[in-house]
């Protein structure tokens, strides 16, 4: 089991499952978000419980539901036995007395994740290069007019705030209470990190529980539950068309799987 098992870099950084299957086939409770364009968010995970990708990268390796390594010491022991890794840690963390350690493992993974960006046609449009079709341009207007952009904004179209899921109308599945588990504040019940909409066409199924299969349905639910609006089918189609302009280019060379030291 590797990071790539659940965040497949060839497939926009997701596993396309409602919730992930981890170590020994255990099913977790949340949908795996994409690792593309994630390092720039205000915090990591649906509930923001890790401050950054450096902190986040320490979690999965030891999590019994994910990679299931027994301890930090065990991870270090396994890496130290592979001479190729010992050399690579030395080069990556020069001058450190004991470069092969759990903390540095997470730092290195996180440094790699910080390069996972996927610029799209929307970026070319923002830089003045045109490039949106008439329907996409209409969807862009509707996305803003409907109020989606009050939460999904900034370079990642999200990832920069926490908001209640079911702000105007309660969400149907409240079994995962979200950020209240992190802050223990009542106001954070059903509050989640606003996810990025970059590559959204490719990263379904949707929402923290992965229960919604199609982008059209996700758009409709957002309009009713977050904005108390009913969109027409045409508006949904236009907004969906706009969202597809957020599908970026996968950095093929940067993510090419290297030969691993043995």
**Rule CB under 8 A: which residues touch another protein?**
1-5, 9, 37, 39-40, 52, 54, 85, 88-89, 91-93, 105, 107-120, 122-123, 126-127, 140-141, 144-145, 147, 149-151, 153-157, 161, 198, 248, 254-255, 257-258, 260-261
Q: Which helix (H) or strand (E) is 46 found in, with range?
A: none
Select from another protein, ligand HEC, none the partner in contact with residue 226, using the beta carbon and a kind-dependent cut-off of 5 to 8 Å: ligand HEC
Is residue 93 classed as helix, strand or coil in its secondary structure?
Answer: coil
Question: Which residue pairs, CB below 8 angstroms and at least 24 apart, start in 56-65?
Answer: 56/110, 57/105, 57/106, 57/107, 57/109, 57/110, 57/113, 58/102, 58/103, 58/106, 60/3, 61/105, 63/22, 63/23, 64/22, 64/23, 64/26, 65/22, 65/23, 65/26, 65/28
The correct pick among 8, 9, 12, 22 for binding ligand HEC (CB under 6 A) is 22
Q: Per CB under 6 A, which region of 34-42, 69-77, 84-92, 123-131 contacts ligand HEC?
A: 34-42
Cα–Cα distance for residue pair 142/133, rounded to 1 Å: 14
Is residue 50 classed as helix, strand or coil in its secondary structure?
Answer: strand
If binding is defined by CB under 6 A, does position 206 make contact with ligand HEC? Answer: yes
The correct pick among 8, 12, 18, 38 for binding ligand HEC (CB under 6 A) is 38
Q: How far is the CB of 98 from ligand HEC (least distance, A)?
A: 21
Q: How far is the CB of 123 from another protein (least distance, A)?
A: 4
Cα–Cα distance for residue pair 210/58, rounded to 1 Å: 24
Set 66, 113, 136, 142: catalytic member: 66
For the beta carbon of residue 20, count every other beta carbon within 10 angstroms. 21
Q: Per CB under 6 A, which region of 33-41, 79-87, 93-101, 128-136 contacts ligand HEC?
A: 33-41
If binding is defined by CB under 6 A, does position 105 make contact with ligand HEC? Answer: no
66 is catalytic: yes
Residue closer to another protein, measured from CB, 18 or 164: 164
């Amino acid at each position: 089991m590797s990071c790539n098992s659940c965040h497949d870099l060839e497939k926009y950084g997701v596993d396309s499952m409602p919730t992930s299957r981890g170590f020994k086939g255990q099913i977790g409770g949340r949908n795996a978000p994409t690792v593309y364009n994630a390092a720039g968010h205000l915090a990591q995970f649906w509930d923001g419980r890790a401050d950054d990708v450096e902190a986040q990268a320490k979690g999965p390796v030891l999590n019994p539901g994910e990679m299931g390594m027994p301890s930090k010491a065990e991870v270090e022991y396994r890496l130290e036995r592979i001479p190729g890794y010992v050399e690579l840690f030395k080069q990556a963390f020069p001058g450190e007395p004991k470069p092969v350690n759990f903390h540095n493992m997470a730092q290195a993974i996180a440094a790699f994740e910080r390069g996972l960006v996927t610029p799209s046609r929307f970026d070319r449009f923002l830089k003045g290069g045109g490039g949106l079709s008439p329907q996409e341009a209409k969807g862009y207007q509707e996305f803003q007019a409907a109020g989606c952009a009050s939460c999904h904004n900034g370079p990642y179209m999200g990832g920069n705030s926490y908001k209640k899921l079911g702000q105007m109308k309660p969400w149907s599945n409240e079994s995962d209470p979200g950020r209240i588990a992190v802050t223990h504040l009542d106001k954070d019940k059903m509050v989640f990190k606003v996810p990025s909409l970059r590559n959204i066409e490719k990263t379904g199924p949707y929402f923290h529980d992965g229960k919604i299969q199609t982008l059209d349905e996700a758009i409709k639910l957002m309009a009713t539950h977050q904005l108390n609006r009913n969109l027409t089918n045409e508006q949904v189609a236009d907004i969906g068309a706009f969202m597809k302009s957020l599908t970026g280019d996968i950095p093929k060379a940067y993510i090419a799987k290297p030969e691993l030291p043995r």
